[in-house]
Amino acid sequence: MCGIVGYIGDNAVQNVLNGLETLEYRGYDSAGIAVSKNGSIKIIKREGRLEVLKQAVDIDGTLAIGHTRWSTHGKPTETNAHPHTAGKITLVHNGIIENFHHLKQLSWLRDIELVSETDTEIIAHIINLMEGPTLFAKVEMALSHLQGSYALVVVSEDEPDTIVVARKHSPLVVGVLDNGAVIASDIQAILPHTNKIVVLADFDIGIVKKNEITLYQHGQRITREPLEIAWSVAQSSKG
């Protein structure tokens, strides 16, 4: 079980770290953050509790994604911590890729260099190898190769203002802000920012930008109106 947070808007790094603190109950053996700034993505990861990561973060930006981990595949090390990257692709993931070992044996993936022991890193490589014209297209193509569960939050250096999200059997929600968006694996990390929530359904893939959320399912554009949640952060933490 892991905690995921993404943010587009002012003070993105601090907002992601605050969200991860809310979700630390979902995983606390390592944590990491990726920040998009000036056309590049900087990744900072640390073994241990979130406080260790906080002390290492020395950058801000208007787009960031973060992850707090309870290890399933691979030991609780900095190398195994999320985010994972391949080429210009960076992502965080909650779930289990059941065909991970099979994927590693495929001829077109056999020669990639995996530096971690996780089942997540190979997703970044698959997305990076896809030949779609956009990040969304690459993610959509890559998902057809995955078996198992995932909540995915993906960014690319080629599209510094965009986050692509995808869900299958692992929770993921998007909060609608007046001038931005917040993404999380649990509503608790969103309620401090907004009570307008879009709950992704299984097989949803979305493009999240500062003032726009576009969702697709099975290749068709769909509409999910935001829900207005009437409860507080304190109430949500009580289950």
- pLDDT digit string, tens, across residues 109-154: 988 999 999 999 999 999 999 999 999 999 999 999 999 999 999 9
Residues of the chain with pLDDT under 70: 1, 26-28, 69-76, 231-239
Mean of all residue pLDDT scores within the chain: 92
pLDDT value of position 165: 99
pLDDT value of position 234: 45
pLDDT value of position 1: 60
- pTM for this prediction: 0.93
The H-assigned helical ranges of 9-160 are 12-22, 50-56, 100-105, 121-129, 135-143
CATH number of 2-237: 3.60.20.10
> Distance (Å, rounded) from C-alpha 95 to C-alpha 224?
23
pLDDT value of position 232: 59
| Alpha-carbon 8 to chain mean position | 12
Whether residue 179 contacts residue 169, with contact meaning beta carbons closer than 8 Å, is answered with no
Nearest to 236 by CA among 23, 69, 27, 17: 23
